[in-house]
Structure 1
């Protein structure tokens, strides 16, 4: 199973993971053979890529760090919460207590699986970006907090703040949030108000702690003082807010947006890695990145040996040194037997670059032509 751009999805390919909408409904289940009709419909829904089973990694199953039912439930709750606030224009917000059990479930599941690393790239329809993003930020923030050794009460406040970090965006005009081009100064000024809107929404809520509200208000502050809304810097920014701001940036970078395509995970990884004591406190960056696979399973890479390989798995804490399966040798011929190299143990071989879908498709065609 591997992730493939919709531009390269063809009829006859099999769905590798269930495709759901923001309501949790399965649009297409794993194993379904894709047709032209299915592919066209998925493109209309705004999907940019799919996990497919094309026989390249038939024995590899990419697992999420939390159970799918927990993620779906959390997304549904965030959607319900934000839509209710939007309709009431910030009215009744007491229902935030309903997400307590879900946050506790996420914490329990992450604590039970501390060796898992994030290898799954979210497949999101355009209509569920905000909700899926909120849950992803919560999960990534909690994984970082666990790596930093936070005790459970801290994890809960961090998780609540991370899950609600963008609640203020319900007061930002949708035409601005969904604008495909560059924002004007006036439009960006409106977007920058969402942390204050979020604080206002939660300010009198007895079910959201002051620590969680701090996360909502400060998650766009930056270590160098160039963030907003208060231009805080360094230790003036609460650690929970810095963690949430950091994972918020990572998740946004790796997602397709109306105004740009997603950055590959390894590029987003490098951006965060280079932001220490500039955008974020250096001390929170490595604990976060230790949970992220720079090259998720299914990524096609070129090795320093000249061979083409596919990433099979990554050990937690060693994000840049995955285990790979060789596909094409330096003479551009396919390997006839399964050969795997653990780059953590074989340090004289490194990853030179990620082979994109276009180039890998060309390589595949060259191999077919050779065999004719």
Structure 2
């Protein structure tokens, strides 16, 4: 299975991963044959890409770092929390204690699967972006905390703060958050108030610790002092907030938004890698990036040898050196036999570029392995 933009999806292709609506209900399940009607409907829902099974790597199964049912449950709980605040006419927020078990479940599941890499990018409708983003930031922050060796209580406070990090955005006008064009100075100034809004919402909540509230308040502060709301620097910013701000940036970069397409994972990886001791403390960057595949399984890449291959897996801690399966040889001919190369043990061969869907559609025809 591999991720494909909806512009490149054709009728007759097969769904490779369940597609859900904002309520967590499955719209199209694995194995569904896509029709023009289905594709048009997915576009109306605001989706830009889906996972398809086109037979290219039928033997490769990419797993999420947490079970899908846990992710769906967490998204629904975040959604319910935000709605409870709206229903209270801007007062406090209720039910934060009800997400304790879910955060503990996520911690348990991540601790049980410490060898898994982040290779999947959530497929989100525009309507559920905020909820799905919050859960993903929680998961990525906890993975970073686990790599840093945080004990269980610290992981819980970090996870709670990361899950609620954008709660203040419910007081920012939706017209600003969903604006497709560039924000005015006044609109951006309003967006920059959301950490303070979030702190205000949680300030009297007995179920959210002071550490978790600090994450909400400081997650947009930056190492160089150019963040907000207080322009804090370096050690003035709590480590939990720096971790959450870093993974928040990564997840936002890779997500499709109304005003721009998401960056490919390898580009977002490079942006975070280059931000050490500038936007974030260098000491938290490597632990985070060790959990993220720069080239997720299913990525089509060109090698320095001139060959074209598909990524099949990445060993944790070696994000830039995946195992690849050859598709097209140096002469431009489709490779008929199954040949794989582990770039981790072959450092004289590197990935030169990621090939987009359109370019691959022109060169990837007729690839079928005799052994599959």
TM range (shorter): over 0.9
1:112 aligned onto 2:95:
no
Q: CA deviation at 1:13?
A: 0.4
C-alpha separation between the residues in 2 aligned to 1:177 and 1:36?
31
Of 214-223 and 356-365, deviating more is: 356-365
Q: CA deviation at 1:93?
A: 2.0
Match of 1:345 in 2: 345
CA contact (8 A) 1:94 1:207 kept: no
Give the match's secondary structure for 1:10. coil
So what's the TM-score if we normalise by structure 1?
0.98
C-alpha separation between the residues in 2 aligned to 1:271 and 1:190?
26
C-alpha separation between the residues in 1 aligned to 2:337 and 2:18?
30
Match of 1:363 in 2: 363
Flag structure 2 segments of 5+ consecutive residues without an equivalent: none
Length, aligned pairs only:
368
Structure 1's 303 and 172: CA in aligned 2 closer, same or farther, altered over 3 A? same
Give the match's secondary structure for 1:301. strand
C-alpha separation between the residues in 2 aligned to 1:190 and 1:217?
15
1:242 aligned onto 2:242:
yes
1:110-137: per-residue Cα shift (whole Å, max 9, x none)? Answer: 0001011000011111110000000000
Match of 1:42 in 2: 42
Give the match's secondary structure for 1:8. coil
Structure 1's 314 and 366: CA in aligned 2 closer, same or farther, altered over 3 A? closer
1:309-340: per-residue Cα shift (whole Å, max 9, x none)? Answer: 00000000000000000000010001110000
CA contact (8 A) 2:15 2:53 kept: yes
Match of 2:154 in 1: 154
C-alpha separation between the residues in 2 aligned to 1:195 and 1:281?
20
Cα RMSD of the aligned pairs, angstroms, is 1.1
Q: CA deviation at 1:91?
A: 2.7
CA contact (8 A) 1:324 1:341 kept: yes
C-alpha separation between the residues in 2 aligned to 1:189 and 1:15?
42
Give the match's secondary structure for 1:100. helix
CA contact (8 A) 2:92 2:202 kept: no
Give the match's secondary structure for 1:333. coil
CA contact (8 A) 1:22 1:132 kept: no
Match of 1:268 in 2: 268
1:281-314: per-residue Cα shift (whole Å, max 9, x none)? Answer: 0000000000000000000000001000000000
1:256-300: per-residue Cα shift (whole Å, max 9, x none)? Answer: 011110000000000000000000000000000000000000000
Structure 1's 338 and 366: CA in aligned 2 closer, same or farther, altered over 3 A? closer
Q: CA deviation at 1:358?
A: 1.2
CA contact (8 A) 2:24 2:72 kept: yes
Match of 2:24 in 1: 24
Give the match's secondary structure for 1:50. strand
Q: CA deviation at 1:87?
A: 2.5
1:288 aligned onto 2:288:
yes
C-alpha separation between the residues in 2 aligned to 1:253 and 1:128?
16
Structure 1's 301 and 208: CA in aligned 2 closer, same or farther, altered over 3 A? same
1:128-164: per-residue Cα shift (whole Å, max 9, x none)? Answer: 0000000000000000000000000000000000000
Q: CA deviation at 1:366?
A: 9.5
C-alpha separation between the residues in 2 aligned to 1:61 and 1:20?
19
CA contact (8 A) 2:305 2:349 kept: yes
Match of 1:204 in 2: 204
Of 106-115 and 87-96, deviating more is: 87-96
CA contact (8 A) 2:336 2:367 kept: no
C-alpha separation between the residues in 1 aligned to 2:219 and 2:367?
49
Structure 1 moving runs of 4+ over 6 Å: none
Give the match's secondary structure for 1:257. coil
CA contact (8 A) 1:332 1:367 kept: no
1:178-197 matches, within 5 Å, as 178-197=178-197
C-alpha separation between the residues in 1 aligned to 2:210 and 2:81?
19
Q: CA deviation at 1:365?
A: 5.5
CA contact (8 A) 1:254 1:264 kept: yes
Give the match's secondary structure for 2:140. helix
CA contact (8 A) 1:22 1:131 kept: no
C-alpha separation between the residues in 2 aligned to 1:364 and 1:94?
53
